[in-house]
Structure 1
Amino acid sequence: MEEFVLSEELVKLQEENYYLKTLANLREADLIQINRELQSCLEKVEEDPQNIFNAQLFARLKNSTKKFSTLQSPQISQLINIIITGLATECENTSGDFQANDDQTFDSHRRALNMWSFLLGWATYLAENKAQSKQNQKENEEFASRSGRRGKERNRESSQWNWDEQRKATLTVMVNVLKLNLESIWVIKQELETFVGIFTKTVFLILESPPNIKDQSTKMLLFEILAISTKNHKQNFAIKTSILQHLRYYEHMPEPTAELLGYLHSEYTYTQLTDDILMEIGDADLSVQDKTGPKQFSKFLVRLSEVAANLVLRQLVHVMKHMDSPVGPMRVAVIEITGNLIEHLANKDEQTESDKETLNNLFNILKQRSLDLNGFVRSKVMQACIKLCDIKAKFPKTRQHLVDRAIQCLKDKSVNVRKYAIQALAKFIRTHPFGMVYGGELRSQPWKDGLAKINEDSESIEPPEELSHITQESPNSPSPSLFADAQSSRPSSPSPLSSNISPEYYTKLNLTKRYYADALRFIESLSTAIPTLLQLLDSINKSEVIETMEFFVAAYQYKLDRAEEGLTKMLHLIWSRETDEGKSVKKKLIECYQNVYISTEEGATKMESVEQTVRNFVRLADTTSVAKLTSLEELFSTMMSTRLISPEVIERLWTVYAASNSQTSAKERRGAIMVLASLAKAKKEIISEKLNVLRNIGLSSPGRQDLVLARYTCIALQRLAGEAKIKGKSSPRDESTRLPLSHPIFEDLRNILEIQTDSNQWYPLAEQVINAIYVLCNNPDILCGEIIKQKTIFVFKLDDDSFRDELSTSEPVTVNTTQLSQLLFIVGHVTLKQLVHLETIEAEWKRRKQSGEAKDKNHVEDELDQIVGTTEDEFSELITQIREYELLYGSNSLLAEFGGLVAKICANRKIFNDKMLQFSATLALAKFMCVSSQYCETYLPLLFNVLEKSNDDTLRCNIIIALGDLVVLFNNIIDPEINVLYELLADESLEIKRNALMVLTHLILNGMIKTKGQLGEMAKCVADENSRISNLAGQFFTELAKKENAVYNNLPDIISNLSRGENAVDEESFKRIMKFLFRFIEKDKHSENVIEKLCQRFKNLDDKRQWRDIAYCLSQLQYKHDGSVRRLVEGFPNYQDKLKDTDVHKHFVEIVNKLKARKEQSTEMKQFVEEYETKVNEAHNKT
């Protein structure tokens, strides 16, 4: 046959119609003929691989390969097997001749290897394409296989060809060929490069498909081919070029490429290829417009620093060229690489001086990059800190700098930076290096005491002569090695001092002193972060809230000061809304409290764990503030419903509650019943099964002696009614839980209410006694009426038969004020509960009517049914009549006797000047007003007068809350006076301001009042000095913004309210408020309209303050669309003359910078913006 020239044949192969001259006149054989020809080829190849020189044989193999796509699976498998066999056998023969030094055969071996390798490369290319096509059509083939016999046959045929296994065989024979001493056979360098190129190109072709490198054995064969080609056959340049191309264009290539270079270094000790690639990347001029290169290179560099850090360190100067790259992903990669290199150097068994210097430089990079302009880069610095916490070496001096930087990042504007900074601080706590003392706890006082004692000891001794020349280092900056020595050799306590102090002891003493000083600095740094972290618990971003919760768990576990304050503040998060996105805040809160308070100590018995859990729960309940108790109840209830509380814990809580005074304290007993009451919200059987215990403890002698215990016992009793069924306006209770009036529990409740005491704890107890009666008793109005009657007779010393007549003529001035105060408290609360009771009756009656249930046996409802029949409207009208005219004005109403009395006491505060009497009377007045619109309208001026004149903030707060209820009940009466609530937002008292804000928030967000230009007063609270007020205001506007156009519609009025007139705020506050509000203007149309209106405002303004305010507002918009830009430019005549003001001009310069920074602008728009910038500057410079 004619001479086979590999390079020429490869060129021909690139042609679309590769011409097979020998077979030009042959017809396509059928399957049987192809099988026969392939079998004949195999026999000849097995006989001698150099039979490939036979023109007919070679032509048949080329012809079969050419028809690869039309062959069936058995023929494909057979063809590839022939080529592999031929090349493998030729490789073995060549190796044998090498060993025999038979160089006369080299020409024939070279020719045969060329021909077989050519066929193998070609067949592999076709097989890879077919395999990829098969992968892409897999779903269609599976569908076809289910649709009939034809599909099944195709599926069966395809299964006969296993390219995955043949690919491994192909790569194995390539490896064996490349291991030959090819330089002895190919004396011409270019021909050798062409030959080796067949294999390297095949490798890169296989690497292009992600599934191929998931198989470890295949990947290692690919790596070995490239490694041998690079090192043994000097293919460095070609492989480097291919690697860089593949890195750019194949998304999956960065990680395998890094692993390849690591393999080349570890197995072949070859680094030149890595050096060249790193230098090439280091010198690459990457731009922001390049969307793939930087991303791919960054992944590659990071992975390389993980698998072969030494290689990166060799070319660190080139890698660090991208530290200030304008391309974000490359700067991020530098941070990750820095962290990996620090970890690598820190974990070395022995560090050279060069290593230490490099480490110091790398840490400096982290510190510098923590100030990067790109938030993502700054967040990567925090992530690097988190990772570095796990390394064995702690680097105390540098570690403290990183802690300080993380604390500063808690106030970063980027949510991601803050989130990872919180994570980092939690990690710093969990991995702190001060575990040799105090069990690793970080409570500051023991460390301060310890350092004071060490300082006292060190001051009273003289250093040994041999150490006297040594200058002591600052205790705040020990070296890593000394720090490690201090941990391993710290003296447990200084020995008695003497004049003979050994150098060893003196050194240890100084190291211990440094150890304590470093620990205290760490603790104090974390303590400075606590206030900010407490604020972050109120963040609107869920992820940083969750991370902050995790921080406080870590801080609590290590006993950091104020950690428990964070756990307590977290309680309100139990009301967070559940979402489907990731982990909910509520679930995280439960997890945190479970980890902290439910004991699972290693080595503890079950009973010991139960005992510790109960102690934790009781202490938690006892130390939680009144404001947080509702949240704690909900938390315990939720934990109970999710089965986190074991029966053993519940039983042990009952044991604590029922224990004698000698066995338990009052606080423990109170805490136990508080927890039990909370748990019973989820499972009322907890209470129903222990009713006698409650009577014998909380409602008997122990309860009489401890009114707080009695109060929580009454709360627990209310759980017997079960959770309310939210339906309609009210929440009717399950009637089956109501008890008859004759039940002994009501006698107990009545007796506990009639205790003679001056304690202020009686009032919250009385409230819960009445609540319990109304949820449990079949006839609560009868029982409470009797209680009021007897209390009235006792207070006014009246006759039982004629007490009503005598009451109307009695002078309250002559009675005991405490007893009168208690009476009015009972009357007021019973009035309110009777109102709720009527609503419950109405809702229950309607429910039964709708469900077709039989009438209730309760005689009250029976009588009502008999009076009004079955008409729903008539029944509702009757209930309204009872509320309006019977409860407070009916001739037979007991409550009616007190309407005038409470008003008289409230109106004559100088005469009735007892604080608790005024408190009870005012509360009763407000509750009476909730019942009847007539009474409300009559006494509303009196209520406002008390609100204005009273010095008691607690009383005023209660009035504010009552006004919120009155707005809902009688909007037409209260709405004209609603400005009173807005005016309270400027009150000097923080509590008054907070309550007014909360009430208004509730009313506005629930659509109970319409804002009429008063939102400016709410907006002022955004800039309030108190974080609680500003956070509440921020939450209000965040929720308001969810209502369509709410902030947008009110924005003009808010700006006017804040910028001019008597109620205007200072400029800094105005900016803070506007910066917050303008982030809710997101729609393009809204932005355009706001710009137009603001520009028009400039027209007739002479006040420079208002110029600056409007200019600032304009600077807060985003100008994302061309329409916004055009509106701004169209309004130029309105503000042209105002640009002479420096501050106004500054704000417009900021706007221009925003316009110029917009992405994907047309050339026309860019020119438009440049012209506008010129006009702005000219107007400013005009004199």
Structure 2
Amino acid sequence: MFARHPAFSPSLKLFNIIHPDLSYIVLPFLLCGLFDNARVGHPIFCLECRSLLDSSVVASIPECFPVFFSLLQNFLSVGVSVRESYWRIGVRGLEGVCHQVGGANFTGMTQTKKAELRNALKMMVYVVVQMVEEFETDATKPDSLDIVTNKRGGKKKKKNAVTGSESHPSGMDWGRERERVVEMTSDLVENDLWLLWEPPSVQMMEDFSNLLLSLCYKLLENPGFVREKTARDKVFGLMGSLMKRFNVALGVGMKIPQLLQHFEHLTSPLAVAMSSWTQEYGVKTVVSEVVRELGRKDPRDLSQDTSGTRCFASFLVELSQLVPAAVLPSISVLIPHLSGESYTMRNGVLGVIGETVAGALSSPSLDEQSRITRDKLLDRLEQHLHDVNAFVRSRCLQIWLQLANAKAIPLPRLKAILPLVFGRTEDKSSNVRKNAVQLLTTVLAANPFAAKLNEKEFKSRLVAEEAKLKALLPPESRNVDDVTSKEGEGEEREREGGEGGGGEKEEGEKAGEVAKQLAVVKYLKDGVEFIDLMSSCVPVCTRLLGSKVNTDVLEALEFLAAAFEFQVQGSREGVKKALGLVWSQEQQMKDSLVETYVRLFLKPQSENPKQAVPIIVHNLMSLTNEATYAELSSLEQMMVLLMKGKNISAPVVKLLWDIFTKSVGNVTQSQSCSAVLLLSMIAGADPEIANANIRILISHGLKQHGDNPDLVLARHCCVMLQKLHRSHSQTNKPPVPFRFPHSHSMFQEITSLLVSQFSSPSSSQWTPFAEQAIAAIYRLSEQPDRLCGNILRSLVKTMSGVRGEGGEEGEGGEGEGEREDEETEGGRRVGQKKSKQREGGREKILSSPKILIR
């Protein structure tokens, strides 16, 4: 049919006349022989092509090619059904050619047969690749989200291919069709195709491989296709095979930066693909080519194209994380970007340095050249802790944090950067402060010195070990500081060089002992320096607890908790200061504070629960020691939150009662006071604790025998009695009364303590006790005014007895007694003045009606 067409002519070899990808393809037509869209769409041409390809694939492809090429030139003008028909014919033709190529014996094939097969293969690959590009372009149009009609006549909504759809405007399963093409071309590349070119032509093979690579690039431009992992992996596998067999890594390395610049969704997939090409296909040059291309980017262009620069930076970081050893040889070309204007690219290069050091330069057995390279990279990383941009400073601290977690920071370097990090805790940027405190917390938690950083213990051990070292050294070189500094300078060289050479046996043994003792002394000195630095961080983090930025507070709290666990000096005071966060309006603050206190005080490292309870009680009681009124108020609120969260168990409460009543051995009076104080705080969340133990509070707290009763203990008991609540009793029992009769033993004991200790010269706690006692009376007594009146009368009588002997006869007698004392004995006046000064506080209390009578 094609031979009878008037425009058809004998074969003509064209070189880049119609399309660049048609190089070295023998075309059996002239330019004037192309069909227009009306003729291409005629059914007879489609049927003829199908018939020819069914009869003889290789021989018929040159005759069918003019129709396919004409279709490509008029692709948008022909109907959808025509495109679909020719697509199926083209795929069938490519499948036939691939089948013949896979089963062919190239060594025994004539040159004519090779040329015919090679030309047919190139034609069908070109046709199918061009049709895929056209279909992909049509499928990814923004207006391709339409309502299409399915074969049954119903309507369905077709998703855009950008969103990962498998449907197509033609109605065929385009996702499956393109995956089928990728599979065929992948199988095709696995054959020894270079045998078709004889003599071998590098240029021709490169043109053919670039044609297949253009298919891969076009598919990767579609975000929906890239999200399909199976199809995406097949495309990357095809690209890996092409690079391995046709040596086209240079071209791929130049194309990848272009893809990254325009298609943000390829950042992570291409990094994973390059890792696969390097490790599975052995194509290591592609990494260096891509890194060099990115290193040659103009810094001014990078500062203007923020989207592309962000993709470059993310790609480089992820690539160096996956294959750090492959990136390391080319990392020098990226260093100039650290001086560029784009902070995004600086962050990317710093990230590459961090990943490379952690992945390829963290082994303890590095050679000398690798150590030098590592130190130079860490120098760059250290310099940018003071970068002019806050985002870079923050990113730099994050990278140091990653290195610390990976234990990839040498100890000498750690000593150098910690002062710099400490300075960043007062940075003007909250993100920088946050990352600086995080880094300090991580370094503290992973410190190489000890689990308990007690400064006194380290210094005492250092003095003892230095004395041992002086005993080993000869008299002329007993300056420990000089010796240890020289040892520190050569430490790494000694580790690499192994054992030193020869001397006498005894001298060698002595030198070994000296070296060992030097290492111990240096270790302890480094530990003391580390502890001093961490101790200096505690006040700064304590100040950050008052910051208005939530991240400052949360990170400072985490650092103080870690410092408390390692017994860093000053950390206990910082943790107690953090109690003020219990009044914060931010729920996140309260939750973090509660978690911290549960971790530090309520979860001891003890496997036996019975042993854990005394430790918990001891931890809680330690919080009350030397606490201010503000801290006690915050602690009370904290205990309420802990009780609501069910973090304080019943055995802990029981042991506190036992300590209060001194039912357990070796309990001091101060411990008993601390126990009842904690119980009163707990009763704020659970009043039943007080309701069920009223008699214990009276008998052990208020009813005290002896000349010197503990008014502090009595005051705490009065505070707890104020927490008494009307209990929710059962229906068959009357409710527990909220108020008690004024004859109750509770009030009798309170009255007794108030009156008996009023005139005690050593009782400095009488006033605080009186405040809480009167408050308890007015809260619990049925007749508080009557009870307080009785107390007042008793106190007046007591005051009369103190001011003069025989003062019980009346007010006139009291005045006469005072005058008589003044007249008869001059020394008595001094005693009266001291007595009045001593009782001034009590007179003030008695003269204040607001305190005694509400």
TM-score, normalized by length of structure 1? 0.59
What amino acid is the match of 2:262? Y
Change (3 A) 1:88 1:444: farther
Provide the secondary structure at the position in 1 that maps to 2:264: coil
- 1:788-828 residue CA offsets vs partner (Å, 9 max, x unmatched): 232223222599xxx9996699679969xxxxxxxxxxxxx
Offset at 1:473? Answer: 4.2
Higher RCO by CA contacts (8 Å cutoff, separation 6 or greater) = 2
Q: Which amino acid aligns with 2:531?
A: I
Question: What is the deviation of 1:110?
Answer: 2.3
Note if contact 1:52-1:115 (Cα within 8 Å) is conserved in structure 2.
no
For 1:534 and 1:178, locate their aligned partners in 2 and report how far apart those are by CA, in whole Å. 66
Equivalent in the alignment of 1:751: 752
3-state DSSP of counterpart to 2:265: coil
2:551 maps to which residue?
A: 543
Superposed counterparts of 1:232-247, under 5 Å:
232-236=245-249, 238-247=251-260
Gaps of 5+ in 1: 490-497, 724-733, 816-909, 933-1183
Q: Which moved more, 1:388-397 or 1:324-333?
A: 388-397
Pair 1:399-2:414 in alignment: yes
1:1122-1146 deviation per Cα after TM superposition (whole angstroms, max 9, x unaligned): xxxxxxxxxxxxxxxxxxxxxxxxx
Residue 93 (structure 1) aligns with: 100
Cα distance in 2 for residues equivalent to 1:761 and 1:293: 73
2:639 aligned with 1:636, yes or no?
yes
Q: Which residue of 2 aligns with 1:868?
A: none
1:21 maps to amino acid: F
Asked whether the equivalents of residues 633 and 678 of structure 1 are also in contact (C-alpha less than 8 Å), the reply is: yes
Cα displacement string for residues 676-733 of structure 1 (whole angstroms, at most 9, x for unaligned residues): 222222221222122222222222228973322222222222222489xxxxxxxxxx
Offset, 1:154: 7.4
- Map residues 993-1012 of structure 1 onto 2, 5 A cutoff: none
Conserved? CA contact 2:771–2:851, under 8 Å: no
Q: Structure 1 residues 27, 165: closer, same or farther in 2, change over 3 A?
A: closer
Identity %: 23
Among 191, 197, 218, the alignment partner of 2:231 is 218
Query: CA–CA distance in 2 between the matches of 1:601 and 1:42?
Result: 80
* Preserved CA contact (<8 Å) 2:41 2:78: no
Please name the residue that 2:771 is paired with: 767
Letter of the 1:280 counterpart? E
Secondary structure (helix, strand or coil) at the match of 2:386 reads coil
Structure 1 residues 605 and 12, CA gap change in structure 2 (3 angstroms)? closer
> Is the CA contact (8 Å cut-off) linking 1:476 and 1:518 kept in structure 2?
no
Supply the distance in 2 between the matched residues of 1:720 and 1:63 (Cα, whole angstroms): 93
* Aligned residue type for 2:469: S
For 2:389 and 2:125, locate their aligned partners in 1 and report how far apart those are by CA, in whole Å: 52
Please point out which of 333, 337, 362 is paired with 1:322: 337
Shift of 1:596: 0.5
2:568 pairs with 1:553: no
On the 8 A contact 1:345/1:359 being kept in 2, the answer is: no
CA contact (8 A) 2:679 2:720 kept: yes
The answer for the alignment partner of 1:361 in structure 2 is: 376
Cα contact 1:813–1:912 (8 A) shared by 2 = no
Q: Any conservation in 1 of the 2:774–2:852 contact (CA below 8 Å)?
A: no
Preserved contact between residue 463 and residue 506 of structure 1 (Cα < 8 Å): no
Q: Which residue of 1 aligns with 2:598?
A: 594
Which residue number corresponds to residue 709 of structure 1? 713
Measure the CA separation in 2 of the matches of 1:812 and 1:269.
116
Tell me which residue corresponds to 2:614: 611
Which one-letter code corresponds to 1:207 in the other structure?
A: L
Distance 1:911 1:672, change over 3 A: closer
Tell me if 1:649 matches 2:660: no
CA deviation profile, 1:634-679 (whole Å, cap 9, x unmatched): 1111111122222332233223323337442223322222222222
Residues 807 and 568 of structure 1: is their aligned pair in 2 closer, same or farther, counting only changes over 3 Å? farther
Q: Secondary structure at the match of 2:548?
A: coil
- Residue 402 of structure 1: CA displacement? 1.6
1:447 has 2:458 as partner: yes
Q: Is this contact kept in 2: 1:295–1:330, CA < 8 A? A: yes
Partner deviation per Cα, 1:295-317 (whole Å, 9 max, x = no partner): 22221222222122233321222
What is the TM-score of this pair, normalised by structure 2? 0.80
Please identify the structure whose Cα radius of gyration is greater: 2
Aligned length: 788
Residue 110 of structure 1 aligns with an amino acid whose one-letter code is R
Once the 2 structures are TM-superposed, how far is the Cα of residue 481 of structure 1 from its aligned partner? 5.2
8 Å CA contact 2:61–2:93 kept in 1: the answer is no
Q: Which moved more, 1:150-159 or 1:382-391?
A: 150-159
Q: Paired residue for 1:577?
A: 585
Q: Which amino acid aligns with 2:747?
A: F
Q: Where do residues 703-1102 of structure 1 align in structure 2 (5 Å cutoff)?
A: 705-721=709-725, 737-756=738-757, 757=760, 758-797=762-801, 917-918=839-840
Q: Distance in 2 between matches of 1:340 and 1:399?
A: 17
The verdict on how the C-alpha distance between 1:665 and 1:85 changes in structure 2, with shifts beyond 3 A counting, is farther
- Partner of residue 1104, structure 1: none
Aligned to 2:291: 278
- Name the residue aligned to 2:428: 413
The DSSP-based 3-state class of the residue aligned with 2:625 is helix
Note closer, same or farther for the CA distance 1:443–1:569 as it changes in structure 2 (3 Å cut). same
- The match for 1:969 is none
Code of the residue aligned with 2:103 in structure 1: it is G
Aligned equivalents of 1:483, 1:545: Cα separation in 2 = 44
- Verify the 8 A CA contact 2:68 2:86 in the aligned structure 1: no
1:53 maps to what in 2? 61
Aligned CA distance change for structure 1 residues 51 and 133 (closer, same or farther; 3 Å): farther
- How many angstroms does 1:452 deviate by? 0.7
In structure 2, the residue matched to 1:251 is 264
| Cα deviation 1:997-1040 (Å, max 9, x = unaligned) | xxxxxxxxxxxxxxxxxxxxxxxxxxxxxxxxxxxxxxxxxxxx
Given residue 299 of structure 1, which amino acid in structure 2 is its aligned partner? S
Letter in 1 for 2:692: E
Cα separation, partners in 2 of 1:217 and 1:538, compared to 1, 3 Å: same
**Contact between 1:422 and 1:548, CA under 8 Å: does it hold in 2?**
yes
Aligned mates of 1:6, 1:808 — CA distance in 2: 137
Structure 1 pair 415–921 and aligned structure 2 pair: CA distance change class (3 A): farther
When residues 27 and 671 of structure 1 are mapped into structure 2, their CA distance, relative to the original with a 3 A threshold, is: same
Match of 1:114 in 2: 122
Write the deviation string for residues 274-305 of structure 1: whole angstroms up to 9, x where unpaired: 33332332232223333223322221222222
Contact 2:601/2:619 (<8 A) preserved? yes
- Counterparts of 2:813 and 2:141, CA distance in 1: 103
Contact 1:443–1:560 (CA under 8 A) maintained in structure 2? yes
Question: Which residue of 669, 672, 675 maps to 1:672?
Answer: 675
- 2:184 matches 1:176: no
What RMSD over aligned residues (CA atoms) do the two structures have, in Å? 4.7
Aligned equivalents of 2:818 and 2:145: distance in 1? Answer: 98
Q: Is the 8 A contact 1:6 1:195 kept in 2?
A: no
Match of 1:313 among 328, 345, 361: 328
Q: Which amino acid aligns with 2:389?
A: N
Cα deviation for residue 917 of structure 1 reads 4.8
Secondary structure of residue in 2 paired with 1:539: coil
Counterpart position of 1:695: 698
Report the equivalent of 1:622. 625
Deviation track 1:305-362 (CA, whole Å, cap 9, x = no partner) reads 2122233321222111011212211222232222222212433364121101011112
Give the SS at the match of 2:613. helix
CA distance in 1, matches of 2:495, 2:453: 19
Which of 507, 523, 537 aligns to 1:529? It is: 537
Give the whole-Å Cα distance in 2 for the aligned partners of 1:536 and 1:475: 40
Counterpart in the other structure of 1:24:
38
Cα distance change on mapping 1:739 and 1:202 into 2, 3 Å: farther
